[in-house]
A and B are shown apart, each in its own frame.
Chain A
Amino acid sequence: MGLWGLRHAVAMAALCLVLLRSRGTEGLRLWIEEGEECFSQGVKYEGDSFHVSFVVIKDNSPWHHSANADGIDLVIKGPSGEQILDFRDRKSLTISFMAPSKGIYHLCFINKSPYHESIYFDVHVGHLKSLKPSEQHLQDAHVTPLMEQIAKLEEALDNIVFEQHWLKAETHRQAIVNDGMSRRAIPKAVIESVALVGASVLQVYLLQRLFNRKLGASVLKV
């Protein structure tokens, strides 16, 4: 009876941990139009670690190149509207901070260029790595230390997934730049050669015209 009861309790604790574990990670690609666009993410416990990352993917059109040179702004606002963090003109960012209070945090992107930007965006809220021992930890004392360790491991893996997503986004951005350069190398050389040939033909023509005129004038004078 004792062993069965204990097993049952462990199973219940496991179920608990399954339900209470917060995995708020979304790896998404978003389109930000000109102006301000806000997204929100909930934080359940004070002191949770809040990770945000984004990478601006440059569209591979050369016409927008100068306009896309600056990045976008990100403003992070807390549940009561106070501004927590502010980043201007970033093309890529990964930041983590400790959430000062629980509630819904607003992440506002401000796009100053007239073209729409596409960003890879990821947000992750971690609980067990929080520095402040909240009352949740005291309740977790019902759970065996083994389960708590496993939950910590799971959260560490979630962090790895978060970092990997950012790495994938940065790699994608580099791949776009690389491909663009590779494709434009040959047309650039061809246009250059054509321009050189054109310039020298123009040169010859102008010189011939100049000497013809000067010679013609001197013949007439004589």
Chain B
Amino acid sequence: MRREVVVSLLVLCFIGSDVVQEGEGIWLNVPPSKNKCVSEEIQNNVVVLADYVVIYDDPAHVTPTISVKVTSPYGNDLHHQENATHGQFAFTAHEAGNYLACFSVDGSNPGGGDVSVNLEWRTGIAAKDWESVARKEKIEGVELELRKLEGAVEAIHENLLYLRTREAEMRTVSERTNGRVAWWSIMSLGICIVVSALQLWHLKRFFQKKKLI
């Protein structure tokens, strides 16, 4: 009886996982002539995993193909693929900055409309391969779930520390702006006073020369 429960649970799982795959990720509409770009600011040493699939619902026509280009903040090409209907790419971010993934329609596009692409983009903790961790360290069940939670909490903590440093930077910039505005306004005011004094002196000299005073 228990074996039946286990088997039915497993079957349910695999059916469920099919349902899960459908809804994950975000769908982009790539217009036929333009580039559609997606980017994310990624810190150093963060793993990025992405999956893209062209969604087509017209079985009569050939699937439209897209070309994908992923670039690093310094312009290095990380992944480049033409005429693809699906694919995936993974990389570890060695430079902190804005990573860009651009999609554009190339090749055949019968029907001419926007091409729907399902993009699943995972960074950092979401990209971690928990199955291999479970296999390597031989943990399962509750312990694995708690490990995942620990990873998620660590990621949140890192984000919070990053926000704190950003706030500190903004605070220094604000204080510097405050100092600059104060001193340079005083300088501006000083110049105004000096110039008007010069003006008075010059005009007085002028009128004295013209024998009016």
Could you list which residues of chain A lie within 8 angstroms of chain B, going by C-beta atoms? 5, 7-20, 22-31, 33, 37-44, 104, 123, 125, 139, 142, 146-147, 150-151, 153-154, 157-158, 160-161, 164, 167-168, 171-172, 174-175, 178-179, 181-182, 185-186, 188-190, 192-193, 196-197, 200, 203-204, 207-208, 211, 215
Interface of A is mostly: helix
- 23 A-B pairs within 8 Å (CB atoms) are namely A7-B141, A9-B2, A10-B142, A20-B20, A29-B38, A29-B98, A37-B29, A40-B26, A42-B24, A44-B20, A104-B27, A147-B145, A150-B145, A161-B155, A178-B170, A182-B173, A186-B184, A188-B184, A193-B187, A193-B191, A196-B195, A207-B203, A215-B210
Chain A proximity of B66: nearest CB distance (Å): 16
The reply to whether the CB of B152 lies closer than 8 angstroms to some CB of chain A is: yes
**Given that A9-B2, A182-B176 are known contacts, is A157 also in contact with B149, CB under 8 Å in the complex?**
yes
Q: Are B9 and A189 in contact (CB under 8 A)?
A: no
Contact code string B96-119 (vs A, CB < 8 Å = 1, else 0): 001000000000000000001001
Hey, which chain A residues are within 8 Å of B94, CB to CB?
A: none
Q: Are A41 and B26 in contact (CB under 8 A)?
A: yes
Chain B proximity of A50: nearest CB distance (Å): 12
The reply to whether the CB of B82 lies closer than 8 angstroms to some CB of chain A is: no
Q: Are B9 and A12 in contact (CB under 8 A)?
A: yes
Nearest first, the 10 closest Cβ-Cβ pairs linking A and B are: A42-B23, A189-B184, A40-B27, A182-B177, A19-B17, A185-B180, A14-B141, A16-B13, A193-B191, A5-B2
Please tell me the number of chain B residues within 8 Å of chain A, measured between CB atoms.
Answer: 77
Q: Are B177 and A178 in contact (CB under 8 A)?
A: yes
Who on chain B is nearest to A157 by CB? B152
The reply to whether the CB of B181 lies closer than 8 angstroms to some CB of chain A is: yes
Hey, which chain A residues are within 8 Å of B202, CB to CB?
A: 204
Among B177, B198, B210, which residue has the most Cβ atoms of chain A within 10 A?
Answer: B177
**Once bound together, how far apart are the Cα atoms of A194 and B120, in whole Å?**
55
Of A26, A185, A200, the contact of B25 (CB 8 Å cutoff): A26
User: For chain B residues 68-86, which have a beta carbon within 8 Å of chain A?
Assistant: none
**Once bound together, how far apart are the Cα atoms of A189 and B190, in whole Å?**
11
**Given that A29-B98, A161-B155, A196-B192 are known contacts, is A150 also in contact with B177, CB under 8 Å in the complex?**
no
Among A15, A16, A125, which residue has the most Cβ atoms of chain B within 10 A?
Answer: A15
Interface of B is mostly: helix
**Once bound together, how far apart are the Cα atoms of A33 and B39, in whole Å?**
15
The reply to whether the CB of B62 lies closer than 8 angstroms to some CB of chain A is: no
Chain A proximity of B156: nearest CB distance (Å): 6
Chain A proximity of B206: nearest CB distance (Å): 6
Hey, which chain B residues are within 8 Å of A42, CB to CB?
A: 22-24, 27
Who on chain B is nearest to A167 by CB? B163
The reply to whether the CB of B19 lies closer than 8 angstroms to some CB of chain A is: yes
Chain B proximity of A172: nearest CB distance (Å): 8
Hey, which chain B residues are within 8 Å of A19, CB to CB?
A: 13-14, 16-17, 20
Q: Are B26 and A123 in contact (CB under 8 A)?
A: yes
The reply to whether the CB of B60 lies closer than 8 angstroms to some CB of chain A is: no
Among A42, A168, A207, which residue has the most Cβ atoms of chain B within 10 A?
Answer: A42
Who on chain A is nearest to B123 by CB? A27
Q: Are A20 and B24 in contact (CB under 8 A)?
A: no
Q: Are A8 and B6 in contact (CB under 8 A)?
A: yes
Who on chain B is nearest to A182 by CB? B177
Among A18, A125, A147, A197, which residue has the most Cβ atoms of chain B within 10 A?
Answer: A18
Q: Are B180 and A10 in contact (CB under 8 A)?
A: no
**Once bound together, how far apart are the Cα atoms of A7 and B20, in whole Å?**
25
